[in-house]
Amino acid sequence: MPVITHSRPSLGLPEFRSVWAVLQSHQLGAGPWVRRFERAFAAHLGLRGAVAVSSGTAALHLALLALGIRPGDEVLIPSFACVAVWQAVRVAGAVPRLVDVEPDTFNLCPVDLRRRVTPRSRAVIVTHAFGFPADVRAIGRVGVPLVEDCAQALGATDHGRPVGTVGRVAVCSFYATKMIATGEGGMLVSQDAAVLARARDLRAYHDKSPDRVRYNYRMSDLAAALGVAQLGRLPQFIARRRALAARYRRAWRGLPVAHPVVAPSTAPVFYRYVVRVREGRVDRVVAAAAARGVTCARPVPVPLHRAFGIAGYAGAEAAWCRAVSVPIYPALEEPEVGRVLAVMQAVLRRVA
Ligand SMILES: *Cc1c(COP(=O)(O)O)cnc(C)c1O
């Protein structure tokens, strides 16, 4: 039986049609589809505007520059996050400062954030881990400008508000495994016209003031055509992910694992279904599932405090020692879902 991968995009007729239309137009560069994707994305979040770019990391970089982050400034980021976040801060010339996460929700801990803020802190990047909204109200009260990283949480809400609408600026990624996929791609959104104008100006080189450093972070019309089609299907994708999550929770009740924690005010989108096994059992669970054809993974391969050898992140450390991500995505066919349910039931009972 073929292996069930950890992620797989959902591509169908809407994607084939819109990409075909771009090919027929013989216009591959940034054009009408990019503008259409930007408008649809901004409208989706109810924000003033959006700037499409070539990746989520590029969007983070431009977000920091648009906020006026300068070399030597400090940017706070969660330790239980992928290295792209650290990279974006470094590319902007700023100094990343790690903040611990809550070991049960995996999201940035507002109490630890308050402890780590210094007079040189100029921004905090909040990832909504695995599709679960972080507590941006509490984080906002710390008083550092907020960048929301919605790469894993597009469509999730807290108190009825979509993630990405609270911070000064928000970013998204459309990498092949994300909530919606264009292969590579990203977006910056904001309500602030000046932030949008600065990001738009820096996105591509142009003839005006040629000596100013700008980037080639453009999105192509091919990617944007995929994005428009995928965004239209996002509500179905989310409904399917939530339905799968409910089935996993029901089927694995009573097993020795902790299920994802859903804060009462939030509606997560289950970008990942991350269970917590007994400490130190992660590799064994992943190996046992792989032996039965189901690809599980650590949801963060190596947390940043580990990657850089920095002590003092007990929450992120506990998360890393227990978190196992189980395949959950709308492209899973019903027979595959059945296999995930059965295989993980056996694996979690015996190995977790
Ligand atoms: C994927 C991801 C990124 C990076 O996006 P790319 O498009 O791969 O550059 C940044 N932050 C988070 C939280 C992500 O999940």
pLDDT at residue 252 tops 90: yes
**Residue 86 pLDDT:** 98
How remote is the CA of residue 69 from the centroid of ligand 1, in Å? 20
Ligand 1 within 6 A of CB of 147? no
H/E element, 45? helix 32-45
Q: Is ligand 1 within 6 A of the CB of residue 304?
A: no
pLDDT at 1 exceeding the cut of 90: no
CA of 173 to the centre of ligand 1 (A): 5
Predicted TM-score (pTM) above 0.95: yes
Residue 255 CA to ligand 1 center (angstroms) comes to 32
Please state, in angstroms and rounded to a whole number, the distance separating the CA atoms of residues 90 and 65.
Answer: 12
CB atoms under 10 Å from CB of 249, counted, come to: 14
Pocket lining: 127 vs ligand 1, CB cutoff 6 Å: yes
pLDDT given at position 257: 96
Instruction: Give nearest CA residue, ligand 1 atom 4.
Output: 56
Give how far Cα 184 sits from Cα of 32, 219, 290, Å.
18, 9, 27
Q: Which two tokens stand for residue 166?
A: 């609270």
Distance 56 CA to ligand 1 centre (A): 5
Question: What's at 46, amino acid-wise?
Answer: G
Interior angle at CA 79, CA 310 and CA 127, nearest 5: 165
- Interval 296-309 mean pLDDT: 97
151 C-beta closer than 6 A to ligand 1: yes
Does the beta carbon of 186 lie inside 6 Å of ligand 1? yes
Tell me 263's DSSP state.
-
DSSP helix/strand/coil, 326: strand
Residue 175, ligand 1, Cβ within 6 A: yes
Which uninterrupted H or E stretch holds 136?
Answer: helix 136-140
Residue 13 has pLDDT above 90, yes or no: yes
